[in-house]
Structure 1
Amino acid sequence: MEQSRSWFNLVDEPWVSVVYDDGTAQDVSISTLFTDAPVIRELGGDIPQQKLPLLRLALAILYRAYYGGVEQMTDQDWRADWAQTWVDGHFDMDEVRSYLQRFHDSFTLFDPERPFFQTPGLEYVTEKEYDPVSEIIADVPKPDKYLFSLRAKGAVHDISLAEAARWLVFLESYDTAGIKTPVAGNTHVNKGKVYPPKGAVGTGWLGAIGGVYLEGQNLFQTLMLNWCLLSTGGRGDGLPLAGRENDKPLWECSPAGPDMRMLDGAEGPASLFTWQDRRIRLVPNADLSRVQGMVICYGDGLTAVNKQDFETMTAWRENAKQGKKLGLSQVPLLPQTLDSSKALWRGLEPLLKFTTEMGRDLRPGVVGWVESVRELIASSANPLTTVAIHAQGLSYGTQNSVFDDAIDDRVDIHASLLRHDAPAVSTVLEVVRVTDEAVFELSKFVHSVEQSAGDKSKDARARATSADVKEEAYDELDPLFRRRIANFDPSQDYAAYGQEWRDEVHRILLAIGRQYLSDSAASPFALHDAGMAKRISAPGSEAKYANALNRLLGKLHSVR
């Protein structure tokens, strides 16, 4: 094997999984990723949650390749620059190649001095030489922590360099918290164990936020839509995100030592998108052709408080309690995390609703940015009409030390719904809100019928049946909401569209309630608890449910 190949330089070697427009799936190098971006449909990966870390890595390259310590520009110039690249339909590969060549050696996987995304010479102080390769891979079944996997337990002994590189980037973003094995040079060891930095995010950074990004028709558009050159939240419109002199990605910095540090701040998106949450060293086999293990410990600590200036891929929420705890004069913002139990359309409000607190737009920065540049490309050959909001992440259990669930959902919307003043946004969010209330009324109706009069022992069964019917309702509503949101063109009569939408919800929920009652073994003559010491029959509960739907969704002119 040639020495250059054995080091596996990520600029030249294929390792990023992609899907081309024709459906072909393959691995490509970083250089090819940018060259072929207009004909690549989307990023791939071993699991979906590898996509967002890889997207952010590519964005960090763009920030530095185009604007590495750039001169001062006006807000108008930043937007015009972005719009010109969009109109061109491809990246300036002279700029990209020049940058990648300048830092070429920093992208080698096993460079002895600057291994990519790793800490050279990292070693455990215990008898353990390294962790097995299964610890790198999130979907390998383990006794107490795993995601769904098609891999057989114990079957993974080593992996290819390409796959190892993908998991390496993933680990820096999503690694679990919990106790780590001490490494040589770590001064934060407590009784032979290493704990997360106090006050810092214990997981990888992406594990602490509600990761969302925008998707276009191809990878070029997706990268562009998330390439925010100005902040639209945080300190307000106009804070440059590109061209910040000290905003350097991990590969431009000198390798950190093995000790973990508390560095509560990033200089910009390029440094934040490649933040070294962990100290990691991959362990290859003898000829550097496969990876068989790793050494890992905590790296640079980061809190989740007030990172809205540079973190553009999450919504934000106020947290007065945290402000008092930290003694802050202004109420701080924390990331709005994702709920793995809900479809994305049920959580659109923090992503689309323009809420300003103390002059701060709490929507994800990517949403505000696209709103600010959309009109600049409206008359181009490639106007932005539709876009997908894609949410990805992982949820954790047992003090964030294990993976509990995975999140991967997307909703197609008309691009004008990204406008902060679009009345249609209120219409969409209102239909979602009243639908949630209507489904809750359905669950109350089911619980009332299931619970026999005065028999408290059946309450658990009633709650379980109610939850099952509620889940069934959301399953039936899901395709309706995805279709309605995707087809919501605000140029139409949005009030009429919203009412038609509510009517469809109304009919679906009525049908589910009637089918439930038809299948139920409950006697129509038995009385059930209705609160306030009142008793009500099953038909009475149904009538009460129907009235609740009329109140929330409006009366139907006819029931089909």
Structure 2
Amino acid sequence: MESYNLITEPWIKVLDGKTNSEHMVSIKELLQNASDYRQLAGEMHAQDLAVLRLLEAILTTVYTRVDQNDEEYEWVTLDEQMHVQSYDDEIEGSTLLQVLTKTWNALYKEGSFSEAVFDYLDKNKGLFDFFGDRPFYQVTAEQYDSFVPDNKKIAKGSGTVDLMQINRLISQSGNSVAIFSPKSANRKNKLTLDELVRWVITYQNFTGVTDKTKVKAKKKMSNSRGWLYTLNPVYAQGKNLFETLMLNLLLFNPNKPAYTQQRPVWEEDLGEYVKRRLSQVKPDNFAETYTVWSRLLHIEWQDGTPTIFSAGLPTFDSANAYDIEPMSTWRMNKKDENYYPATRQLSSIGIAMWRNFGQYVDIEGHTESREPLTVAWLNYLKTKNEFLNQQMINLHTSGIISNGGATSLMPAAEFDDNLRIEADVLFDETEDRKNAWPQRIEEMVDLNQEVGRKYYGFLMEVGRIRFGPQGAADFAGRNSQTFYDNLNEPFENWLANLSGGDDRDKQQELWKKQLRQIALRTLDDFLEIIAPRDISGIKADKSQSGTKSTESNIFIAANKYRAGINKALNKNEK
């Protein structure tokens, strides 16, 4: 195979906006017709996010160099490939902000990308070929051998990764069999070329640590997991793919407007890139972060069959990386007071986005989390563009959760969720911040969780009646999600129906009434099937229960739960 160029060959799966049918398109075709497609439609939502970030890297690179008229900005000088030769790093932030905002507005109003994007792709076509001297997201055999120890060179045959491990729907290594695989045993290790491209890009973003080959380094290092694997991602989803690409197209950091040269990995000199990664220097630009490698990959082909060699690269410090990673939530580590990506754990698989509402938007007095840059960008756009007023914002999250095993970090579950809310509500400009919608919503989120804890307490008592103190926590943990399953859709609908002009007190009271109904209905559903043991109950052991009650049964537990609901809902009545 001599060439498979991602600019012109179809490899990206999309959904047609009119027919909802699936198509496969090239990068060029996608960007030319982005408004005709509803969304990306790969094998996994996590794969779609990896591809989205690649596309954003292209657009960010181009439109931080040229404007909507395809003219280069006054502060940059470009070469024939539209790469930055030099730039004025003393450009005023206010000038930069004004000019780049004008570019963004013009593109959005036009509803399509300008010719500059396609000029850039044409001039850099050789950098997007999956084969050749600079294979996309890979290295050549000579380069691979130069970066790994002698006993790990290609001729030795070690350090390979199976296709069924690259494929994150299977993620089968040589040490463990994926029983519930979407492919039969004789098909697990086979991929079409377009599938391979998608999975290589996904693998660089969601790499575990089962492979042990590393690049040569002076100091001892650990293989890194894929950068996107460490995040709790958040991005904006529009009505079509063009709008999605535009809403996530940050041309500068809205919190610190300054010019930064965008350096996607395909523009990098490989030697310099590896050197920088070995020194664990943090990226300083979005395009580099979006396309960061976790592995040096080399693919050997024999009779059309690929063998993939993989060598690990060290990661960079994620502390306070919120200025270079727009698509993540952040959580403060109380020990060092730095903010780190709020990595999802298996224990959080059933937690809907609304339950972490405070991580997605800046709330007065909340220091335990940091507003994602993507959300800050949407807020900035709202202040500069009337089109977001009274419009729905669809915040989306997608990703993969690992098994938590320190020696593997194999994919264990995929998550995908969204949060729909009016822009005027999410970015409420009410001067009294305690009365602003984000604060009021957070109060209702806290109330929901308080009632959820009351239900968990009820289940603990029932579990103690049925299984004794040792089995109570397990029983409560397995059944407490029912409360949130009943709550998620109504609360998400309540959020989506809020508007900036609504009476806050009235809307809160409406939700409290609905919350009471849901909480009591959840109890009623549980009480439909009870056993004689639940009725007869137990003599409570004071040392175990820590209460003054001498006995307990399901009716006593239910009454406590009802009283707890009343106490929570009647607290701080306005």
Range of TM-score over shorter length: 0.7 to 0.9
Q: How does 1:24-103 map to 2 (within 5 A)?
A: 24-68=21-65, 70=73, 71=75, 72=91, 73-92=95-114, 94-103=115-124
> Against the structure 1 CA distance between its residues 552 and 129, is the aligned structure 2 distance closer, same or farther, given a 3 Å change threshold?
closer
Contact 1:368 1:418 (C-alpha < 8 Å) held by counterparts: no
Q: Does 1:173 align with 2:205?
A: yes
The match for 1:336 is 342
Aligned counterpart for 1:107 among listed residues 117, 128, 141 = 128
Contact 2:428 2:500 (C-alpha < 8 Å) held by counterparts: no
Aligned counterpart for 2:447 among listed residues 425, 429, 434 = 434
The match for 2:8 is 12
Whichever residue aligns with residue 347 of structure 1, its letter is N
> Against the structure 1 CA distance between its residues 280 and 420, is the aligned structure 2 distance closer, same or farther, given a 3 Å change threshold?
farther
> Against the structure 1 CA distance between its residues 59 and 450, is the aligned structure 2 distance closer, same or farther, given a 3 Å change threshold?
closer
Contact 2:171 2:410 (C-alpha < 8 Å) held by counterparts: no
Q: How does 1:208-227 map to 2 (within 5 A)?
A: 208-227=230-249
Post-superposition CA distance 1:32-59 (Å, at most 9, x none): 1111111111112121111111111111
Aligned counterpart for 1:393 among listed residues 399, 402, 423 = 399
Instruction: Using structure 2 for the length normalisation, give the TM-score.
Output: 0.83
Q: Provide the secondary structure at the position in 1 that maps to 2:468.
A: helix
Q: Provide the secondary structure at the position in 2 that maps to 1:348.
A: helix
The match for 1:553 is 569
Whichever residue aligns with residue 122 of structure 2, its letter is Q
For 1:383 and 1:102, how far apart are their aligned partners in 2? 39
The match for 1:327 is none
| Uncovered stretches (5+) of structure 1, i.e. residues with no partner | 324-330
Shift of 1:291: 5.0
Aligned counterpart for 1:509 among listed residues 519, 523, 529 = 519
Identify the structure with the greater helix proportion.
2
Post-superposition CA distance 1:104-155 (Å, at most 9, x none): 10000011x2111111113543443843321211112635375964222342
Aligned residues: 516
The match for 2:169 is 139
The match for 2:222 is 196
Shift of 1:525: 5.3
Post-superposition CA distance 1:261-286 (Å, at most 9, x none): 23321130011111122101123343
The match for 1:276 is 293
Contact 1:138 1:147 (C-alpha < 8 Å) held by counterparts: no
> Against the structure 1 CA distance between its residues 163 and 419, is the aligned structure 2 distance closer, same or farther, given a 3 Å change threshold?
same
Question: After alignment, is 11-20 or 295-304 more displaced?
Answer: 295-304
Whichever residue aligns with residue 167 of structure 2, its letter is I
Shift of 1:255: 2.6
Shift of 1:518: 4.0
Shift of 1:535: 2.7
Whichever residue aligns with residue 547 of structure 1, its letter is A
Whichever residue aligns with residue 231 of structure 2, its letter is I
Whichever residue aligns with residue 190 of structure 2, its letter is D
Shift of 1:527: 4.8
For 2:226 and 2:528, how far apart are their aligned partners in 1? 50
Whichever residue aligns with residue 196 of structure 2, its letter is A
Post-superposition CA distance 1:21-78 (Å, at most 9, x none): 0202111111111111111111121211111111111111111212238424332333
For 1:133 and 1:343, how far apart are their aligned partners in 2? 32
Aligned counterpart for 2:486 among listed residues 470, 473, 476 = 476
The match for 1:326 is none
The match for 1:263 is 280
Contact 2:60 2:250 (C-alpha < 8 Å) held by counterparts: no
Contact 2:6 2:26 (C-alpha < 8 Å) held by counterparts: yes
Q: Does 1:120 align with 2:120?
A: no
Post-superposition CA distance 1:319-363 (Å, at most 9, x none): 242x3xxxxxxx4321122332312221222112435789x9921
Whichever residue aligns with residue 222 of structure 2, its letter is P
Q: Does 1:446 align with 2:462?
A: no
Whichever residue aligns with residue 534 of structure 1, its letter is S
For 1:334 and 1:395, how far apart are their aligned partners in 2? 17
Shift of 1:163: 1.0
Whichever residue aligns with residue 160 of structure 1, its letter is T
The match for 1:159 is 191
For 2:119 and 2:497, how far apart are their aligned partners in 1? 42
Contact 1:354 1:421 (C-alpha < 8 Å) held by counterparts: no
> Against the structure 1 CA distance between its residues 189 and 281, is the aligned structure 2 distance closer, same or farther, given a 3 Å change threshold?
farther
Q: Provide the secondary structure at the position in 2 that maps to 1:296.
A: strand
The match for 1:413 is 421
The match for 2:85 is none
For 1:471 and 1:377, how far apart are their aligned partners in 2? 40
Whichever residue aligns with residue 51 of structure 2, its letter is L
Contact 1:282 1:294 (C-alpha < 8 Å) held by counterparts: yes
Q: Does 1:349 align with 2:358?
A: yes
Aligned-CA RMSD value = 2.8
Instruction: Using structure 1 for the length normalisation, give the TM-score.
Output: 0.85
> Against the structure 1 CA distance between its residues 175 and 291, is the aligned structure 2 distance closer, same or farther, given a 3 Å change threshold?
farther
Q: Provide the secondary structure at the position in 2 that maps to 1:394.
A: strand
For 2:462 and 2:323, how far apart are their aligned partners in 1? 51
Identity %: 22
Question: After alignment, is 255-264 or 332-341 more displaced?
Answer: 255-264
Whichever residue aligns with residue 446 of structure 1, its letter is L
Whichever residue aligns with residue 270 of structure 1, its letter is A
Q: Provide the secondary structure at the position in 2 that maps to 1:444.
A: helix
Whichever residue aligns with residue 455 of structure 2, its letter is L
Post-superposition CA distance 1:397-428 (Å, at most 9, x none): 21153222222111222122331646122222
Whichever residue aligns with residue 226 of structure 1, its letter is N
Q: Does 1:403 align with 2:429?
A: no
> Against the structure 1 CA distance between its residues 13 and 541, is the aligned structure 2 distance closer, same or farther, given a 3 Å change threshold?
same
For 1:84 and 1:476, how far apart are their aligned partners in 2? 44
Whichever residue aligns with residue 38 of structure 2, its letter is R
For 2:366 and 2:125, how far apart are their aligned partners in 1? 44
| Uncovered stretches (5+) of structure 2, i.e. residues with no partner | 66-71, 76-90, 146-151, 431-435
For 1:504 and 1:383, how far apart are their aligned partners in 2? 28
Post-superposition CA distance 1:365-413 (Å, at most 9, x none): 01011111124331x5x86701211112222221153222222111222
Which stretches of structure 1, 4 residues or longer, exceed 4 Å deviation after superposition? 145-148, 187-190, 257-260, 355-358
> Against the structure 1 CA distance between its residues 24 and 433, is the aligned structure 2 distance closer, same or farther, given a 3 Å change threshold?
same
Aligned counterpart for 2:269 among listed residues 238, 242, 254 = 254
For 2:265 and 2:357, how far apart are their aligned partners in 1? 33
Q: Does 1:238 align with 2:244?
A: no
Contact 1:139 1:147 (C-alpha < 8 Å) held by counterparts: no
Contact 2:159 2:213 (C-alpha < 8 Å) held by counterparts: no
> Against the structure 1 CA distance between its residues 238 and 449, is the aligned structure 2 distance closer, same or farther, given a 3 Å change threshold?
closer
For 1:53 and 1:408, how far apart are their aligned partners in 2? 14
The match for 1:328 is none
Q: Provide the secondary structure at the position in 2 that maps to 1:337.
A: coil
The match for 1:369 is 377
Shift of 1:230: 2.7
Q: Provide the secondary structure at the position in 1 that maps to 2:525.
A: helix
> Against the structure 1 CA distance between its residues 447 and 238, is the aligned structure 2 distance closer, same or farther, given a 3 Å change threshold?
closer
Question: After alignment, is 421-430 or 524-533 more displaced?
Answer: 524-533
Whichever residue aligns with residue 310 of structure 1, its letter is I
Shift of 1:491: 1.8
Whichever residue aligns with residue 169 of structure 1, its letter is I
